[in-house]
Amino acid sequence: MIDLYTAATPNGHKISIALEELELQYTLHVLDLSANEQKEPWFLNFNPNGRIPAIVDRANDNFAVFESGAILIYLAEKTGRLLPADPEGRSRVLQWLMFQMGGIGPMMGQANVFYRYFPEKLQPAIDRYQGETKRLFRVLDGQLRDNEYLAGEYSIADIANWAWVRTHKWSGVDVDDLPNLQRWLNTIGDRPAVQRGITLPPSDVLDRANNDDEAARFAQAARNMLETGQSRQGKG
């Protein structure tokens, strides 16, 4: 049994999707990020960074893992699935996983901050992060031109990138001119395990992006979290 501590974010959905794909038993613990539950001492005991997601593997002497990429690798290695055993295949998957961790996630995250959450509209910052996000999308589209999935067979690299790219409208970046990326988004989105994983916990980010009033309410709540975040107090 695995305890999953999470929230309805792309990083959180990476893990719920993987757990569903791998058919592992787990208990869902949804943290209230607006209440800073992720900063509580009990959570920091097994995730000192105070961010979601994190897991505790009760079947492995309560072993805790934080950072979504590390969790994906741990789960894949635990089950022998979604990560090839041969060195070259494994490397290809890890390369595209790191592409998401170091590029797609940070750039889309910053696009979200400046396009949706920041109180002032700093257009150079918006242009910077939306432009870099689109460049990274073009890299994915090129890789998918001759490949059904990013690293050959369906893997944790696809799960990690898909969980973020599917929210492109929230970042204000379109994919209309990227047919290979669109095909990949639809193919993965049709998987039953993926459809289950993105509802654990529920998220309506795509609906919010198409509803101005709902988008404004959500953005204001996120802005309040940014303005009261512990990082401003020098506490991480």
Q: What is the pLDDT of residues 121-161, one digit of tens each?
A: 999 999 999 999 999 999 999 999 999 999 999 999 999 99
Looking at residue 226, its pLDDT comes to: 60
What percentage of the chain carries pLDDT values higher than 90?
84
CA–CA gap between residue 166 and residue 187 (Å, rounded): 12
Give the residue, 214 or 145, on which the prediction is more confident: 145
CA–CA gap between residue 6 and residue 98 (Å, rounded): 21
What phi and psi, each to the nearest 5 degrees, are found at residue 202?
-60, 145
Q: Which two tokens stand for residue 80?
A: 């022998």
**Which DSSP state fits 58?**
G
User: Is-contact 1 58, C-beta < 8 A?
Assistant: yes
Return the bridge partners of 5, or none. 29, 54
Q: Which two tokens stand for residue 145?
A: 């031109």
Name the pLDDT band for 213 (thresholds 50, 70, 90).
low
pTM of the model: 0.90
Looking at residue 230, its pLDDT comes to: 46
The mean predicted confidence, pLDDT, of the chain is 91
Give per-residue burial for 136-175: e unless 16+ CB within 10 Å, then b.
bbeebbebbeeeebbbeebbbbbbbbbbbbbbbebbbbeb
Asked whether the bond before 106 is cis by omega within 30 degrees of 0, the reply is no
Q: What is the pLDDT of residues 58-117, one digit of tens each?
A: 999 999 999 999 999 999 999 999 999 999 999 999 999 999 999 999 999 999 999 999
Name the pLDDT band for 210 (thresholds 50, 70, 90).
low
Looking at residue 212, its pLDDT comes to: 58
Q: Could you give the count of Cα atoms lying within 13 Å of 216 in the half-sphere of its Cβ?
A: 2
Residue 232 pLDDT > 70:
no
Name the pLDDT band for 203 (thresholds 50, 70, 90).
confident
Looking at residue 206, its pLDDT comes to: 66
Q: Show the 3-state SS of 80-133.
A: CCCCCCCHHHHHHHHHHHHHHHHHHHHHHHHHHHHHHHCCCCCHHHHHHHHHHH
Residue 221 pLDDT > 70:
no
Q: Which two tokens stand for residue 204?
A: 């309506």
Name the pLDDT band for 24 (thresholds 50, 70, 90).
very high
Looking at residue 233, its pLDDT comes to: 44
User: Is-contact 80 141, C-beta < 8 A?
Assistant: no
